[in-house]
Amino acid sequence: MLPSMLPKSVLTQGVVLGINLMLGYALGVVWQWLWSFLELPTPRGAKWQTVVAASYLALGVVLSVNLWRHVGWQNSLRREFGMGQIGPTIWGFTLPLALLVAGWILVVGRSLRKLFNFFVRWFDRHLPRRQALLLGGLVFFSLLWGVWSAVLVDGFFAGANQISAPIDASTDEGIIPPQSPLRSGSPDSLVPWKTLGRQGRNFVATGPIIDDLNAFHGGDAMESIRVYAGLKSGQTVQDRADLVLDELIRTGAFEREVLVVATTTGTGFLDTHAMDALEFVTNGDVAIAGVQYSYLPSAISLLADVDEVRETSQVVFEHIHEYWSELPDTTRPDIYLYGLSLGSLGVESILTSIDIINEPIDGALLVGPPFVNDLRNRLVTDRDPGSTPVRPVYEGGRTVRFMDESGLAELTGEWGDTRVVYLQHASDPVVFFSPDLLFDPPEWLSGDSRGPEIYDGFRWIPFVTVWQVLTDMAVADSVPEGFGHVYSRQAHVDAWAAILRHEGWTAADTAALQLHLSDRGP
């Protein structure tokens, strides 16, 4: 119930509290078993009953106080995030839910114990007790492992795919096939509308129109190019890469000023805030290409599709890059990379590829990079002295720079021809989760390294904080824009303006565009 990185919903808090209750119960069971196993004396008598009663009373007081304080902690967090306040009445839902979750875990745990005892009793009929315990345990844990790996894990991912595939086949209300030949899914497109997937259809059917761009720039806007291939657009990654390249050629993408190869999140999602900001900064003189690699949300894809995102990113980029590198230097577009969340892992797999050394990219934007991103982790670890994990500086910012909603840090060193930007929030648990939180206090929670939107009452506790941040990941997308794993259009404008470095574009233009997009609403 202690404050953590993000405010938790009533539902999330109930589930977390139920699991925590059973973790505490399990620790008590283990302690009781160990006490008995060591044949230590069991306390008895009136004095012991008094100690037990006093302990229950103390625990009741602590629980009641923390139940009350939890509401204040959550409201303090919510004020920081601009969210509505909650009252003590939440416990009318949270506590019953916690008891329900705890009860379900207890039933499962005791059922497993009965199964273990069944195997031990069977061997007990034929073998000495200790051999029966050993063999019974081996059979039980072998069965448990087989069920876990072959049934639960595979079944979970199969079930997740079964649930996600129909969602991917659906089309959001108001989304209709584009008629412009510059969009995949249009009558002129090589990619049929029905194969794009839900997020692919959203991507090609939306975005600012020429009138929107002219309203800001005052004229000379172009219609942007958006090409996309869904999982059903081709049987293999190479098939989908071929389709995207053919679409780029068909739409004249290599005649534009800017070409962005975008790696999607698990469901095929490309963030509207990032795409719209990019098209406004370029006044539409841009082509964006995306390819879907999964039906699953990023949280599940992080477990199941890491290899797929790397393979798709590399195959698609190398296929496009090979064609692009053969074009004349003076006429081909500048080429950039983009990835949000798990998509940024795909971008990193490209950045660390040997194939782009001879013809380097012009820049990349990686947003909300998850904790599995090796390149980002190395940059933070090897950062320049005096910089923080939230706003690290690497080699004076010569190639890579980090930013948050407040913008890029002012660095005196020169920024080279290839510009890579990491956009990350201090309050994003997807970025800052680490198994090391089990035993080691993180730098991002200490002293001057502490992120600006991290609540003062959030403190590191061994074993506890890792669980807090892990559960915060479940609500990372449920907070207002500019916090957690939700990145604003204004931050994307700042990032794209710095990466693209258009001639004549000024800080005043960036501020004006940020204000313009704010006025457009969500």
The pLDDT value given to residue 122: 86
Rounded distance between C-alpha atoms, residue 197 and residue 200, angstroms = 5
Rounded distance between C-alpha atoms, residue 149 and residue 146, angstroms = 5
Rounded distance between C-alpha atoms, residue 59 and residue 67, angstroms = 12
Strands (E), 368-485: 400-404, 407-408, 419-423
- Mean pLDDT of all residues belonging to the chain: 89
Pairing of strands 419-423, 407-408: unpaired
Coil, helix or strand at residue 294: coil
Q: What is the mean pLDDT of residues 214-236?
A: 94
Assign 358 a pLDDT band (cuts: 50, 70, 90). Answer: low
The pLDDT value given to residue 301: 60
- Is 70 exceeded by the pLDDT of residue 154? no
Rounded distance between C-alpha atoms, residue 391 and residue 382, angstroms = 13
- Is 90 exceeded by the pLDDT of residue 101? yes
- In terms of pLDDT, which residue wins out, 128 or 284? 284
Share of the chain above pLDDT 90, in %: 57
Q: Which of 11, 26, 24 is nearest to 98 (CA)?
A: 11
The pLDDT value given to residue 164: 62
Question: If residue 61 lies in a helix (H) or strand (E), which one and from where to where?
Answer: helix 46-81
Give residue-wise pLDDT tens across range 45-84.
888 899 999 999 999 999 888 888 888 889 999 988 889 9
Give residue-wise pLDDT tens across range 249-274.
999 999 999 999 999 987 889 999 99
Assign 160 a pLDDT band (cuts: 50, 70, 90). Answer: low
The pLDDT value given to residue 307: 82
- Is 90 exceeded by the pLDDT of residue 203? yes
The pLDDT value given to residue 5: 92
- In terms of pLDDT, which residue wins out, 167 or 258? 258
Q: What is the mean pLDDT of residues 103-107?
A: 93
Place of tokens 């959550």: 74
- Is 70 exceeded by the pLDDT of residue 157? no
- Is 80 exceeded by the pLDDT of residue 159? no
Rounded distance between C-alpha atoms, residue 34 and residue 48, angstroms = 19
The pLDDT value given to residue 296: 72
Integer angstrom CA distances of residue 116 from 35, 146, 278: 21, 15, 59
The pLDDT value given to residue 305: 64
Kindly report the length of the chain. Answer: 522
Q: What is the mean pLDDT of residues 456-478?
A: 90
The pLDDT value given to residue 273: 93
Q: Which of 365, 179, 162 is nearest to 270 (CA)?
A: 365
Q: What is the mean pLDDT of residues 184-209?
A: 95
The pLDDT value given to residue 149: 60
For Cα atoms 369, 378, 426, give the angle at the middle one, nearest 5 degrees.
40
The pLDDT value given to residue 196: 95
Q: What is the mean pLDDT of residues 235-255?
A: 96
Q: Is the separation of the CB atoms in 459 and 445 below 8 Å?
A: yes
The pLDDT value given to residue 399: 92
The pLDDT value given to residue 309: 87
Which amino acid, 85? Q
- In terms of pLDDT, which residue wins out, 302 or 261? 261
First and final CA of the chain: distance in angstroms?
A: 32
Coil, helix or strand at residue 388: coil
Question: If residue 335 lies in a helix (H) or strand (E), which one and from where to where?
Answer: strand 334-340
CA 164, 167, 168, 172 torsion: positive or negative? negative
The pLDDT value given to residue 142: 83
Give residue-wise pLDDT tens across range 482-515.
999 999 999 999 999 999 988 888 999 999 999 9
The pLDDT value given to residue 117: 87
> CA Rg, the chain, in Å?
27
pTM of the model: 0.88
The pLDDT value given to residue 44: 84
Q: Is the separation of the CB atoms in 366 and 385 below 8 Å?
A: no
Q: Is the separation of the CB atoms in 424 and 402 below 8 Å?
A: yes
